[in-house]
Each structure stands twice: as C-alpha cells, then as structure tokens.
Amino acid sequence: MLNDHIEKILIGEDEIAAKVMELGKEVSADYADKDLVIVNVLRGGVIFVSDLIRKMSIPVTVDFMAISSYGPSTESSGVVRVIKDLEENIHDRHVLVVEDIIDTGLTLGYLLKNLSSREPASLSVCVLLDKSARRILDNLPIKYKGFDVPDAFVVGYGLDYRQKYRNLPYIGILKKSIYDFDLKDQLT
Ligand code: PRP
C-alpha cells in the first residue's frame, strides 16, 4: 500500500485544506475586480490549483504550462524548455503563477522571465511549499505561501517520486528504503 512507503506525514489533509481555504480567500480579496489569469505549471501543481480555485470567490481564468528541465531529473538545472505554452494572451492581465513547490527557485526564475516578457499587468507567485534550504535564486516575488518544508524527500498532494505518490491526499516524507532500493535497482 502507498501509505507503507511513507516515513511520516508532514502536513495532513485537514491542515492543507485549511491553508488552501485561507489562500483562496486572500487571493479573492486581492484580485477582486481584476482580470486574473492563474498560470499553473504541470504536473505537480494540478492538485493544489484545482483545490485553490474552488476556494476562490471571484471569476478567474486558468491556464497551464508544461516545462521540462535539462540535466539529471532529480536536480533542477534552471535551463528549461517549454513543452506546452499558454493558450491565453496575458498581455495587460494580472497573472498569478501557482506552483506546488519551490526548491532551488531556478524553474520559477525561468518561468517569471518568460512570462514577464509578455508584459502582464502584474506577475506574482502563489506556492504551497517552500523548501528554502535549497534556494539558489533569491528575491522571487512570492506573494502567497502555504508552508515551509525541510530539506527532505517530500511527496504527495501533487508531488512525485518517479511519477508516483502524487495522489496521496497529504504531504509526507518518503521512506529512505524506497529510493535507496531504486538506486540499487538502477546500478544492477
Ligand atoms: C517541481 C515543481 C517545480 C520545480 C521546483 O517540478 O513543480 O516546478 O520542481 O524546483 P526548483 O525550484 O528547484 O526549480 P518537477 O520538475 O519535479 O516536475 P513535476 O511538476 O511534473 O513534478
């Protein structure tokens, strides 16, 4: 079972739900009467954004981008390629990027540069998890933040390990034996 692969639950379902509710209210108040486009980054952010928009009380447009980073899959290189671009024109509109996690910040840095070249009316970030211990790029315009997380292997609520565990309803720390086992597997 999936739960058996988890060392410890870091943030439970109820705690996530309360935070998402709070963030939804805040975003709604700040963007009332504004033309808001939420830009979500596939794939990890889909769970968070789908919950977040349902806690928002203002009209909102949602669009998606998919990017892929070059280099080893476990490390962010900051050199990314757009796999799927936005369908919306964001010129002169208020853009809120919704991400599941910021780690080194390199992915977000690239994304913000890319989006700002399209001249939106404003560009801000809402992130559920902030793993600031690994930050390389600072001064990111993070307007809304859910939780700070330690430098541990977190999965669930959208976050994956080798494309699995995204469907866990909570955020947990993956057991070391799982990825150690996979590492051995790759060497043989
Ligand atoms: C995760 C996350 C961010 C990025 C953060 O995506 O959704 O986009 O990593 O890392 P960084 O701050 O070090 O750049 P990932 O590449 O794992 O893809 P996924 O969303 O499909 O899981």
User: What pLDDT, on a 0 to 100 scale, did the predictor assign at position 78?
Assistant: 63
User: What pLDDT, on a 0 to 100 scale, did the predictor assign at position 75?
Assistant: 58
Q: How many domains does the chain have?
A: 1
pLDDT tens for each residue of 61-85: 999 999 987 655 555 666 788 999 9
Residue 70 class from Cβ within 10 Å (0-12 exposed, 13-18 middle, 19+ buried)?
exposed
Tell me the DSSP string of 88-100: S--TTSEEEEEEE
Q: Which domain holds residue 42?
A: 14-150
- Order the strands of the 6-11 sheet from edge to edge: 6-11, 171-174, 154-155
Residue 105 near residue 136 (C-beta atoms within 8 A): yes
In a domain, 76, yes or no: yes
In a domain, 1, yes or no: no
* Average of per-residue pLDDT values in the chain: 92
In a domain, 169, yes or no: no
Closest Cα to residue 122, out of 61, 56, 34? 34
In a domain, 64, yes or no: yes
In a domain, 183, yes or no: no
Tell me the DSSP string of 123-146: EEEEEEEE-GGG--S----EEEEE
pLDDT tens for each residue of 95-140: 999 999 999 999 999 999 999 999 999 999 999 999 999 999 988 9
Pocket test for ligand 1, best of 68, 70, 107, 130 (most atoms within 8 A of CB): 107
Question: 94 has which bridge partners?
Answer: 36, 122
The structure tokens listed for 84 are 């799927």
What is the CA(33)–ligand 1 centre distance, in A?
Answer: 31
Q: Give the CATH number for residue 51.
A: 3.40.50.2020
Q: How confident is the model at residue 93 (pLDDT cuts 50, 70, 90)?
A: very high
In a domain, 179, yes or no: no
Pocket of ligand 1 (CB under 6 A): 41, 43-45, 69, 76, 99-108, 160
Question: 69 has which bridge partners?
Answer: 80
Nearest atom within ligand 1 for CA of residue 78:
14
**103 counts as catalytic:** yes
The structure tokens listed for 72 are 């080893």
The structure tokens listed for 96 are 């809120």
User: Which pTM value belongs to this model?
Assistant: 0.92
In a domain, 50, yes or no: yes
In a domain, 9, yes or no: no
